[in-house]
């Protein structure tokens, strides 16, 4: 346990550091002997945001999707993607090389409840998935090409594995953005191999 003197020494180190802007970096510390085992070397995230951005960019270009659909990243847990800390829905802006955070779980609770229910029903143990929003009616052939290409890119870039779920009309998940309702009928769950 930290005593007052060691806390004062820590404060002096922080305030008199050569770096004018010290950054705090959280780390897990097990402080009780009755804690369960945790592998501290295993990262909590599934994929790095740069790798995920590259995968989505290549998917868009290989299938020439830039005009017909927009892939979205759905993180059901904080820090699912390295350097994208909040759970929520993201979209890739490949023109400006960045992800845009569209909304979080508190912004659209029903959406996240539906996705989580599907995940539990299918007994899928990953908090990361990709889907897409589109104005066109989905064709089965398109969905097959999309999932096949995405699986290849996941394996190539990130040593990742994808499992897809096709949803029929009654199972589709509604997503409302900018006063428009989209129906997600393909969920691509991503996990490490």
User: Per residue in 136-179, pLDDT tens?
Assistant: 656 778 888 889 999 999 998 868 999 999 887 768 888 887 78
Whole-number Cα distances in Å, 65 to 112, 133, 147? 25, 11, 13
Contact 57, 73 (CB under 8 A): no
The structural domains of the chain, with segments of one domain joined by +, span 47-192
pLDDT band for 4, please (50, 70, 90 cuts): low
Can you give the pLDDT at residue 114?
A: 92
Can you give the pLDDT at residue 38?
A: 52
Can you give the pLDDT at residue 42?
A: 56
Strands 81-82 and 47-48: parallel
**CATH code of the domain made up of 47-192:** 3.40.109
Please check the confidence at residue 126 and state whether its pLDDT lies above 50. Answer: yes
Average pLDDT over residues 72-94: 90
Query: Mapping DSSP to helix (H, G, I), strand (E, B) and coil, where does residue 189 land?
Result: strand
Question: Which percentage of the chain shows pLDDT scores above 90?
Answer: 32
């Amino acid at each position: 346990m930290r005593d007052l003197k060691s806390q004062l020494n820590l404060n002096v180190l922080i305030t008199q550091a050569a770096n004018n802007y010290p950054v705090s970096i959280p780390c897990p510390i097990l402080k009780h002997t009755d804690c369960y085992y945790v592998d501290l070397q295993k990262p909590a995230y599934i994929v790095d945001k740069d790798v995920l951005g590259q995968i989505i960019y290549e998917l868009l270009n290989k299938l020439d999707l830039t005009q017909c659909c927009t892939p979205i990243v759905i993180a059901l847990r904080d820090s699912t993607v390295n350097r994208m800390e909040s759970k929520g829905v993201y979209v890739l802006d490949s023109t400006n090389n960045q992800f845009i955070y569209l909304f979080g779980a508190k912004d659209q609770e029903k959406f996240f409840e539906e996705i989580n229910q599907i995940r539990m029903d299918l007994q899928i143990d990953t908090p990361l998935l990709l889907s897409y929003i589109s104005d066109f009616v989905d064709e089965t052939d398109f969905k097959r090409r999309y999932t096949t290409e995405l699986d290849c890119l996941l394996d190539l870039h990130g040593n990742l594995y994808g499992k897809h779920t096709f949803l029929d009309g009654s199972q589709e998940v509604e997503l409302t953005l900018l006063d428009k309702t989209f129906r997600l009928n393909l969920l691509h769950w991503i996990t490490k191999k």
